[in-house]
Structure 1
């Protein structure tokens, strides 16, 4: 094994005095001394060509070194410090807490990607050596297991930092990170990343707690923006841990999710809301009721409903739809009788915004989620019929583009409303019938870019609404449509009316 080049570069021969080489008994084994010196070199943030050269030498050193020399006399703490120093060397450049935007993929980030690819190769060689050392009689699992336990969390954080397309990654660094994560999962005897983090069964503790322990100091109010990768590592890791394991770590994951969602930048809000949604879906309701956690999350989400970004509103509404049942069950168990529920409050605000909304992107988001709120309230939707009717009439009147997402969503909303609040429909029959017939005519005569399948879906939805209105009004729709059918010459419209008249 040729180590002389690297040893001389690190000045490991020892001090000289008057031409005589002092050779005191070594305080630590040679391998530990080499690795300590390398760790000290990379613990400094500043990079440069000398470090890149040392990295290449380190890859060769680890690959050529004998396992007994490399691991036999090295403490797990020394290898842990080396991995941590290399991880810091490959991390994206720090940024100011109040930086408005992540830098673009400039030279600094390009250099980070190159460093990450080189460091990833070192980690791959190191893991391969650890796997080989398990089978050696003089080392085996008793020596390898403590080292692996010390380095697996920093290795995971490195892989999660560089595994996806980010400003500080490139194809090479992503490929190395994916290979490293796969090798790490195999080395720990797990079948997947999720199993590595949560454990093989509910009684076994995985590595998620230890990973969150390393991330914890970077996920505080004052530090979470300094490292641009931290929020991505957290949001990429969290979905890997599901029910029933996630409830054990609720105190670790809920505060940072709320913190990220409370940021002023929309992309961070969306990231935080998605983390909150995963927590709501994978933590028992009883745990969310404790310490008013569910109410805290509800207020954080409700405040986002005043935002104007369609992606954020969509994420918030989907999250609220899964949180509202938890809140309502808690109120029932506490025997709290309220004239309105949290679902009423959300729907009231949504309908207020829908009435005045003119941007098509937001109109589509609102219309897609509105049927779920009607289903959620059931017969209690009668509380909102006056405002809901205005929204339905306004949205049926306006074409929203080739896919007609808003109109299709509103037609589904109208169907749900008729099914749940049918006793209140006969008095609204004149305005609803007029609006549906006008929409059918507009769709039939539309010469725009709306595809034929979309037109067919609109006409089918309108026909189903007319059939439901006819049922709840005891056949009044059939009577009113007789004159329209006899005077209409358009076959497509006559077909819609015929379906209503033939329905029994």
Structure 2
């Protein structure tokens, strides 16, 4: 078979002594081992782009029996790993945000990735063709696939979506490679590839995490800027009940990401923790105090001033806190201040003094869930909660009025659960709700009509609930307002309260 200039460039050594037996390593494996050694040096050194392109031509033209029958799975796996390292983004000694622009280096990475991806496409095509050959078949192809699918998957995940080190060509090659990878593995989706087709079948997530393990330590995860994206893209593909078996592999790197000083990494880590909480049984989370560790990591983020991070943390806590509560109940521990109340107390403290609209919206959206969950125990926080509600009802927070709508929902939940404590607060709450109605009616700003209608509807519902828990006092107080009000929209709201039975 003609190997073009590639074999000659590698200068394969022949036995010097004619009496010496032929080499134990088959020619194909000898070629691939030397190529792997060449690329193990990294992207530096002698120019390798031409070698990659010739390697792609070699793999495409090679006979399946010569290429696959005369090579060990470990040799092919080593070559794939070396090529993936050659196409990886530049290693960094510090965080990417602290480095100067690397546009040229990233452009070179995208070009290398497209060339290497083309080689992998040819290799997977050969493996697919070899499955149907009698001399090869699954007995030869299966072990090779087990060695190469993991590194090829990590390469694909690195270059699949838009990143600083990708371009349209490298992304297109990665997309084709992913489709061929799933076909070679006999899977219909990435989730099926990683977790397995059923509960009894082990997927390839353990192998992938084994390859990522060295890149996901405290000292190494920032050196390769793609590692965190590969991990955070792969983790959501593995759901319940498969994820439980990998808890020890995925929890430490998720905590590591969330503990970083950069907001982007914190949010990424919190999203990973949230997926773990939703897809791992509560008993496994509570074992070895894991849930408490996650809780304290999330609780510390509540002191942040960044709205996207606070939103991710609060949503994550809403799913974690019931798990902690059940664990306390099963252990029959005495109930001091529960985690729910601890979080709500801190949230209310921050809400009361918060002036940034983005944060006010985030807090107001999640507050009803905390009130609903605490139930009657919300009475312990009524004084501060009342101040928060009154303060938020006064401030216009944008065309969508998310903060006001959230606080109105919070007030409704509070009245429903703590109704015996509401009559004494009736004058203050009634005044605030009527003022809100008037502000909405006279608003000449960009607030859409559906939003105004929702605000008036929410305020009306609050007045109806207040009237019910105060045995009709609201109807009595509104009589004079109704008779003196000339605005039809406000009168309609008051009429609905008075007609409620």
Aligned match of 1:180: 177
2:336 is aligned with 1:330: no
From 216, 221, 226, the equivalent of 1:224 is 221
Partner of 1:466: 463
Matched, 1:93 2:86: no
Cα shift at 1:170: 1.1
Query: 1:106-145 to 2 correspondence within 5 Å?
Result: 106-145=103-142
Among 389, 393, 398, which residue is 1:396 paired with?
393
- 1:199 aligned to 2:196? yes
- Is contact 1:104–1:167 with CA below 8 Å preserved after alignment? no
1:66-97: CA deviations, max 9, x gaps?
A: 00110111011110110000000010001114
Instruction: Give a deviation string over 1:187-236, Cα, whole Å, max 9, x none.
Output: 11112111111111111111111111111111111111111111111111
Q: Which residue of 1 aligns with 2:413?
A: 416
Q: Is residue 500 of structure 2 the alignment partner of residue 503 of structure 1?
A: yes
- Structure 2: which 5+ residue stretches go unaligned? none
Alpha carbons of 1:89 and 1:339: their partners in 2 closer, same or farther (altered >3 Å)? same
Which shifted more, 301-310 or 178-187? 178-187
Calculate the aligned-residue CA RMSD, in Å: 1.6
List gaps (5 residues or longer) in structure 1: none
For 1:292 and 1:4, locate their aligned partners in 2 and report how far apart those are by CA, in whole Å.
61
Q: Is the 8 A contact 2:162 2:171 kept in 1?
A: yes
Tell me the distance in 2 between the aligned counterparts of 1:119 and 1:312: 37
> How far apart, CA to CA, are the structure 2 residues paired with 1:259 and 1:102?
21
Aligned counterpart, 1:246? 243
The count of aligned residue pairs is 501
1:6 aligns with 2:6: yes
Which residue is 2:32 aligned to?
A: 35
Deviations 1:338-379 (Å, cap 9, x if unpaired)?
232100000000000000000000000000000010111111
Per-residue deviation, 1:279: 0.5
Structure 1 residue 25, shift from structure 2 partner: 2.1
1:324–1:342 CA contact under 8 A, matched in 2: yes
CA displacement at 1:48 relative to structure 2: 7.2
Provide, for residues 117-146 of structure 1, a one-character-per-residue CA deviation record: whole Å limited to 9, x for no partner: 111110011001000011111111111111
Q: What secondary structure, in the 3-state scheme, does the structure 2 residue paired with 1:217 have?
A: helix
With 92-101 and 392-401 compared, the bigger mean Cα shift is at 92-101
Moved more, 192-201 or 86-95: 192-201
Q: Which moved more, 1:156-165 or 1:384-393?
A: 156-165
- State the match for 2:478 in structure 1: 481
Contact 2:43 2:87 in 1 (8 A): no
Distance of 1:22 and 1:287 partners within structure 2: 64
User: Retained in 2: the 8 A contact 1:7–1:13?
Assistant: no
Question: After TM superposition, where is structure 1 displaced by more than 6 Å over at least 4 residues in a row?
Answer: 21-24
| Cα 1:430/1:121, change in 2 over 3 Å | same
The separation in 1 between residues aligned to 2:478 and 2:500, in whole angstroms, is: 13
> Does the CA-based 8 Å contact 1:165-1:174 persist in structure 2?
yes
Residues 287-436 of structure 1: matches in 2 within 5 Å? 287-436=284-433
The CA deviation at 1:9 is 1.6
CA separation in 2, counterparts of 1:492 and 1:164?
51
TM-score if structure 1 supplies the norm length?
0.97
For residue 31 of structure 1, give the secondary structure of its aligned residue in structure 2: helix
Q: Distance in 2 between matches of 1:474 and 1:104?
A: 68
Which residue of 2 is the match for residue 213 of structure 1? 210
Instruction: Give the whole-Å Cα distance in 1 for the aligned partners of 2:374 and 2:414.
Output: 10
| Cα displacement (A) at 1:330 | 0.7
Q: 1:493, CA displacement in angstroms?
A: 0.7
Q: Alpha-carbon deviations, 1:453-489, whole Å to 9, x = none?
A: 1111111111111111111111111111111110011
Secondary structure of the equivalent of 1:50? Answer: coil
Q: Report the Cα distance in structure 2 between the residues aligned to 1:171 and 1:216, rounded to whole angstroms.
A: 29
1:438 corresponds in structure 2 to 435
**Cα distance in 2 for residues equivalent to 1:498 and 1:40:** 84
Partner of 1:270: 267
In structure 1, the residue matched to 2:50 is 53
Deviation at 1:27, TM superposition (A): 3.4
The answer to which of 457-466 and 46-55 deviates more is 46-55
1:152-200 Cα deviation digits (max 9, x unpaired): 1101111111111111111111121122122111111112111111111
Give the conservation status (yes or no) of the 8 Å contact 2:214–2:220. yes
